[in-house]
Chains A and B, each alone.
Chain A
Amino acid sequence: MPARKFHSTWQSCRWLGLGLWLLGASTAAQTLTLVSYGGSYGRSVELAWVEPFMAETGIEVRMEDYNGGLAQIRAQVETGNVFWDVVDLTTPDAVRACDEGLLEFVMLADLPAAADGTPASEDFLPDSRSECSGGGLVSATIVAFNNQQFPDAPPSRLEDFFDLERFPGRRGMRRVPIANLEFALLADGVPINEVYATLDTEAGIARAFAKLDTIKDEIVFWEAGAQPPQMLADEEVVMTTAYNGRIFNAQVLENQPFTIIWDGQLQETSGPGIVLGTPRLEIARRFIEFMSRPESLAAISKYISYSPTRYSANAMVDSHRETGIAMGPHMPSAPANMKRALISDWLWWADNGDEMNERFAVWLSR
C-alpha cells in the first residue's frame, strides 16, 4: 500500500526533525506567554492582572496580541509546537477549543473561593465559562458613532446602522460573520429571541447576508479591537461596530466625541484558557488561579468597562482609576443598556462557525 509506505517515510522524517530540534532549538523555560487582544484592553489586562501577578510570584509574563479565533492555537497543538501558554478566549471559542482538545481543563474546585467563602462553583454567572476557562469578563459588541458626523439628528437604534439614507457614510465592521449576522437580522426586524432560530434555516442565513448586502459597498472591515475607535477618530468611517470597552476608553481617556448605541448590543463572555501541551503548565495554572480571584476580576473594571463573570467580583466594581467615573452605568449589563440586548449563543457558533466563516469569505470576495 503506497500510502502506508509513504507514511512511514514521513514518520521517520519527523524523528529526524526531532533530533534536529534537540540540537538547534532553545527553550525559554519559565516565561509565561499570555495572549490577549491588545490595545487598551491589553493594557488593562497588563495593569490589572499581569503586573500584580509578576509582583506576587516573580514569574516573568510576556504578552502577545491576537485577534481571536482558534486558528493559531489549533496550529500549535496539531503540530506539537506550543509556544502560547494562556490565551484570552471568547466563550464560544473556548467551548470549541475545549471540545477539540486544544485546551487544558480548568476545574472549578481549583479556582479560588469568594471572600465570604462562596465556592467558585456557585459564584459564576450561568453559561459564562467553558470547562477549560478561568474567571472572565462580560463584554458587548455595539455600534458606536462619532458625534461630529451627526450634529443634528444622531442615530439611536441598531436599525440606523443599516440606514444609509438617513445616515450616509462608511461603516466599520469586524471581518468575521459573528455579531454581523445577528445585527443584520435584528435590524431586519427579527425579534431578539428568534435570531438564532432564524439563522438555523437557509432562508434565515440568506436573509442576514441580504441585509448586509444593502450596506456592503460602504463597509470598511476591521480585525483588531483597537481599530474601530481609531477609524472613528480618523473619520475613516462614520459608524462602526466595536467592543464597548474600547469605545469607553476612547471617550474617557482621549476625550473622543463618541457615542455608544446600546440598542441591539450583542453580549459575550470571555475568559482565559491554557493551551493543551504547554511545557509551562504549572505557571499557567498559577496565572489562571490568580486572575480568577474576585478581586483580580474586579480590578480590570478600574481600567475598562467590562464586568466580571463572578457575582462576588461584580459587587466590588467601583470607579475608573484614572478619571473616577462610576463604572456601573458603562457596563453592558447595566439595566439601562439592556433594553434590547442579545446574548451570544456560543453553542450555535460552535456548531456553525466554520460554515459561516466559509460563506462569509465567499460573500466578502464578491
Chain B
Amino acid sequence: MAITLKRWNRQALGAALLVAPLAIFVAVTFVAPLATMLVRSVYQPAVAEALPETLAALAEWDGGSLPDEETFRIAGAEFVALNERRALGSVATRVNRLESGMRSTLLGTARSLAAETPSASWRETMIAADADWGAIKSWLAIRRAGEVITPRYYLNALDLDRGGAGEIVVQPEDRRIYVSLLLRTLAISIAITGICLLLAYPLAWLLAHARPRRAGLLLLLVLVPFWTSLLVRTTSWIVLLQNQGVINDLLVTLGILAEQQRLALIYNMTGTIIAMVHVLLPFMILPLYSIMRAIPERHMQAAASLGASHWQALRRVYWPQSLPGVAAGSLLVFILSIGYYITPALVGGRTGQLISSMIAYHMEQSLNWGLAAALGGILLLLVGTLFFIYDRLVGVDRMRLSG
C-alpha cells in the first residue's frame, strides 16, 4: 500500500514537473497580459496622479453648488503647473471623454492663467476665462476622471453611464452602439455556425464513409485552405468578390447581370459571412468527420432492413450518433467566430464589423484603452463561458488538428 502510494506520488510529481514549464510560460506570457487588460478596464490612475491636490479638494466638495474659492485656486494653480510640464493635454483628453469641450476649457484656462496670475478671485478669473468653470458638471467631470478604480468602462461598454447623482442611466440614443453590436456579433456567429454545419455535414459524411484512400485525398482538399495563410485567403476573396472582381465580371460577361447591376458582395455583411464561412468550415468538418468515422455503417443498414426510409434512418439513427461531432464543431466555430477580427476588418466594410473591431478601434484609433479593455473583458467572459461548456461537453483533449 505504502509503495503504491509512493509510486503514484512519484508519477504524479513527474507528470507535474513536465507540465510545469509550459504552464508557467502560459501563466506569464498569456494569463498575465489578460490580467493586465482586465486591470486596465477598472484601474485608470493617470488623472489621479496628475491632479492630486485638485482631487483632494474636490473630495470635500458636496457636488451640489460650485466649489469654493480655495478649490478654484488649488485647481487653477495645478492646471498651470501641469501645463508647464506639458502634461495637461493628456489629462484634458481624459476629462474631455466625460464632458465634451473640457479639453479646450482646461488648456485655454491654463494658458490664460499662466499669462496673468489672478490678482483677486481665482473663481471669477477662471469663469471669465471660460464660462464652463461656472458649470457644476465641469467639476463633476474632473472628479469622476480622477477616480482610480471605476466601473465606468464596463457601464460604457453596455451603453450605460452614470448621471449627475451617480445613478446609472442609459446613454442617449446617438451614443448607443455596443449592445446592438454585441447582439449583431452573436447573430452573425450563429448564422456562420449554421451555414458551416449545413455545408460540412454532408461532406463529413462522404469523407467518413468513403474508401480510406479516397477519403485521405479529399481530406487533403479540406486541409489546403486550413493551411493556407489567412491573409492569402482574404486576398482571394477580395479578388473574387469585389465590384470589378472575378465573380461580378463573370456574371456580366455571361449576360446574367448588366454592367450597372454588379453585386455588392464584399465590404459589407455578405463579404464577412462568405469569407468567415470559408475560414471556419474546416473547423466544422474535422470534428464531424472524426465522430462520423466511428459510427458503424451497419447501423444504417440495420435501420434500412427494418424498413426505415433513408431519411428516417438518417434522422433517427445516424443524426443522434453524430451529435457529439455536431456539438464539437458548432461550439468551436461559434467560439472562433464571435471573437474574429482579421477577416471582418479586411472585408467587412461598414456593415460587416463585429465587436472585435470596436476593441481594435479603441486600442488603435481613439486610444480609449479603458473602454477597449472593458469590451475585451466582456468578450472574454463570453468566450470563456463557451470554452467551459465545450470542455464539459466535448473535452479539450478531444481537439484534433487534422483528419
Contact = CB atoms under 8 A, between A and B. Distances in A.
A binds B: yes
Contact of B89 (A72, A102, A351, A359): A102
Interface stretch (B92-100, B211-219, B286-294, B380-388): B92-100
A48 B93 CA distance: 36
B365 A71 contact: yes
Interface string B353-392: 1000010010011110000000000000000000000000
B243 A71 contact: no
Most chain B CB inside 10 Å of its own CB: which residue of A221, A352, A358: A358
Interface stretch (B170-178, B320-328, B336-344): B170-178
Contacts of B162: none
Interface in B114-161: 148-149
B164 interface: no
A325 interface: no
Contact of A364 (B96, B97, B244, B350): B350
Contacts of B104: 350-351
Nearest to A169: B260
B194 interface: no
B350 A221 contact: yes
Interface string A53-75: 00000000000000001111011
B148 A3 contact: yes
Interface in B267-324: 267
B243 A69 contact: no
Most chain A CB inside 10 Å of its own CB: which residue of B43, B45, B86, B244: B86
Interface in A312-366: 350-352, 354-355, 357-359, 361-362, 364-365
Nearest to B350: A364
Given A3-B148, A69-B365, A234-B244, A99 B97 contact: no
Contacts of B175: 358-359, 362
B51 to A, nearest CB: 15
B109 interface: no
Count class of interface residues, chain A = 35 or more
B9 interface: no
A71 B175 CA distance: 21
Contacts of A219: 350
Contacts of A69: 365
B89 A100 contact: yes
Contacts of B233: none
B97 A354 contact: yes
A292 to B, nearest CB: 22
B37 to A, nearest CB: 14
Interface residues of B, number: 39
Interface string B57-92: 000000000000000000000000000011111101
Interface in B234-275: 242-244, 260, 267
Given A234-B242, A354-B93, A354-B97, A365 B103 contact: no
A177 B242 CA distance: 25
A308 B63 CA distance: 52
A6 B364 contact: no
Contacts of A220: 267, 349
A127 interface: no
A170 B262 CA distance: 11
Nearest to A205: B174
A123 interface: no
B210 to A, nearest CB: 42
B89 A99 contact: yes
Contacts of B45: 3, 7
Interface string A1-28: 0010011000000000000000000000
A101 interface: yes
A7 to B, nearest CB: 6
A170 B100 CA distance: 34
A357 B103 CA distance: 15
Most chain B CB inside 10 Å of its own CB: which residue of A101, A168, A276, A365: A365
Interface of A: 3, 6-7, 69-72, 74-75, 78, 96, 99-102, 168, 170, 219-221, 234-236, 276, 350-352, 354-355, 357-359, 361-362, 364-365
5 contacts: A101-B90, A220-B349, A351-B101, A361-B361, A365-B177
Interface of B: 43, 45, 85-90, 92-93, 96-97, 100-101, 103-104, 107, 148-149, 174-177, 180-181, 242-244, 260, 267, 349-350, 353, 358, 361, 364-367
A-B residue pairs, 9 tightest by C-beta: A100-B89, A101-B86, A351-B104, A355-B100, A3-B148, A99-B89, A362-B177, A236-B243, A234-B244
